[in-house]
Every structure is written in structure tokens, then in C-alpha cells.
């Protein structure tokens, strides 16, 4: 979206500011291998369990007076779906079966350290995960179903029951970012925090990948 004067809006600036981090995160070996069918449903379960910690922390924030409404959009929270998926994936007591990796602990500690009233920082994490789930996440769901025979019961994470059209939802979400009355300092905090959010995700992928070394080419 551009403003009336033709300058890019905040949402477009945010996408541009994180474009390099997006490419870099998307291309991490664990994700490429997961999406390429080289891993297993067990590896997917390990990955999902780490996200249970992340979403529990992300979704623990209490709405604050003056928050933009879309930060409390009830269609978005994923923690209950992830827990349900983990049960259907046979993870049992997921916290016992899959302790948080150090990279996950760092991401969670950071989410917990963000002040409740800090809209730019919280928005950065909200945007990075939920717009990601509504974009590349949809591709992950199809590929996990195709490669590893995951059933719909195991993929509720990616099903946003209250969202008819992810494309329209994402457009409206970006419009709401554009409508925020951020000063330039707040915009810069938003961009820096979103880059950091991508890095936390990338660190988790690296840690997950380290546990399943790539086969050495003979
Ligand atoms: C599995 C690999 C991934 C693929 C194939 C992928 C693909 C995509 C695609 C095609 C879009 C554009 C959708 C659109 O314009 O509506 C997108 C957007 C996005 N993705 Fe990913 N993605 C991947 C991983 C990730 C990860 C790991 C994250 C976050 C950690 C992420 C966060 C985002 C965000 C925030 C957007 C919205 C960009 C914007 O329009 O502002 N993606 N992704």
C-alpha cells in the first residue's frame, strides 16, 4: 500500500525491511529439508513442539488500553491448535517429550521481556508469526500432508477456522498497520524488532537441523 502522497505505507516498509531476513529464514536447511520431504513426521513434531513454547509466550500478552484492535484479533491465536496437533501426533506430554531448546528458550525469554505496553515491539512478533502462518505456513501444511501423510487432525495449526480468505485477511491486516499513527522512531523499532523475530526463528531452525545432520555426499 502507498500513502496518498505515493510514499510506501508502513506495511510495505515493514515487508521491505525484512525481505532479506525472510529469504534467509525460509532457506534454512531444516525448513528446506522438511518441505522437500527429506525428514519425517517425528521431525515435524519436534519442530511443532518448539512452536508450542513460542505461541504460548506470544499469546500470553494481555490487551492494553489503546492497543490497536487487530492485536487482539480472536481468529489468530494458535497455541490451542498446536497443543491439539501435538496430541494427534502422539507427542504425549509435549513439555516432557520435547523440552524447549536453548534457541527456543531465548526466543521465549525475549517475548516475555517485551513490555505489555510496547506496541511496536509486540506487533513485530505478531506480524512475523501470524502473517507467516497465513503465507508460507499454508505451503508447509500442504507439504507436510503430502510428504509425511499428516492428517487434518494433525494440522489444525494452519487452519484459521474464522478466516475465510487468508489473502483478504492479510490485506486488511496490512491496511491496519498502515493506519497506525507511528512516529519514525516507532517505525524503526518495529523494523528492527521484526528482523530480530526472523532471526529467533532462524536460530530455532538451525538448532532443529543440528539434531538431524545432513547425509554426507559420497
Ligand atoms: C517455509 C518457508 C516459507 C515460505 C515458502 C514462505 C513464503 C511466503 C510467501 C509466498 C509470502 C508472500 C505472501 C503474500 O504476499 O501474501 C510470505 C510472506 C510472509 N512470510 Fe513467509 N515463507 C516461509 C517461511 C516464513 C517464516 C519462517 C516466517 C517467519 C519466521 C515467515 C514470515 C512471513 C511474513 C511475516 C510474511 C508477510 C510479508 C508481508 O507481506 O509483509 N515466512 N511468505
Give 118-134 pLDDT, tens digit per residue.
999 999 999 999 999 99
Q: What is the position in ligand 1's atom list of the atom closest to the CA of 14?
A: 41
Using one digit for the tens of pLDDT, what is the confidence trace for 4-40?
567 899 999 999 999 999 999 999 999 999 999 999 9
Identify the residue whose C-alpha is closest to ligand 1 atom 39.
15
Contact predicate 103/206, CB 8 Å: yes
The pLDDT assigned to 7 comes to 85
Is the minimum distance from the CB of 1 to ligand 1 under 6 angstroms? no
Looking at domain 22-210, its CATH architecture is Up-down Bundle (1.20)
The pLDDT assigned to 115 comes to 85
Question: How many whole angstroms from 217 Cα to the centroid of ligand 1?
Answer: 30
For 163-172, the CB contacts below 8 A with 24+ separation are 163/75, 163/134, 166/134, 166/135, 166/138, 169/75, 169/134, 170/131, 170/134, 170/135
Collect the ranges in the chain with pLDDT lower than 70. Answer: 1-5, 216-218
pTM: 0.94
Amino acid at each position: 500500500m502507498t500513502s496518498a502522497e505515493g510514499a510506501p505505507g508502513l506495511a510495505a516498509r515493514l515487508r521491505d525491511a525484512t525481505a532479506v531476513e525472510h529469504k534467509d529464514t525460509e532457506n534454512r536447511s531444516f525448513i528446506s529439508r522438511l518441505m522437500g520431504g527429506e525428514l519425517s513426521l517425528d521431525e515435524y513434531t519436534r519442530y511443532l513442539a518448539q512452536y508450542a513454547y513460542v505461541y504460548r509466550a506470544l499469546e500470553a500478552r494481555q490487551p492494553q488500553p489503546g492497543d490497536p484492535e487487530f492485536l487482539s484479533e480472536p481468529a489468530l491465536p494458535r497455541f490451542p491448535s498446536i497443543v491439539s496437533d501435538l496430541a494427534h501426533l502422539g507427542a504425549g506430554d509435549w513439555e516432557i517429550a520435547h523440552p524447549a531448546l536453548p534457541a527456543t528458550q531465548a526466543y521465549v525469554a525475549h517475548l516475555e521481556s517485551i513490555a505489555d505496553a510496547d506496541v511496536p515491539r509486540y506487533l513485530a512478533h505478531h506480524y512475523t508469526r501470524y502473517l507467516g502462518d497465513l503465507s508460507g505456513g499454508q505451503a508447509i501444511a500442504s507439504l507436510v500432508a503430502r510428504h509425511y501423510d499428516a492428517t487434518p487432525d494433525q494440522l489444525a495449526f494452519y487452519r484459521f477456522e474464522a478466516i475465510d480468505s487468508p489473502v483478504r485477511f492479510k490485506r486488511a491486516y496490512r491496511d491496519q498497520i498502515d493506519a497506525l499513527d507511528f512516529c519514525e522512531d516507532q517505525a524503526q523499532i518495529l523494523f528492527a524488532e521484526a528482523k530480530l523475530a526472523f532471526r529467533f526463528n532462524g536460530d530455532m531452525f538451525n538448532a532443529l537441523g543440528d539434531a538431524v545432520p545432513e547425509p554426507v555426499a559420497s
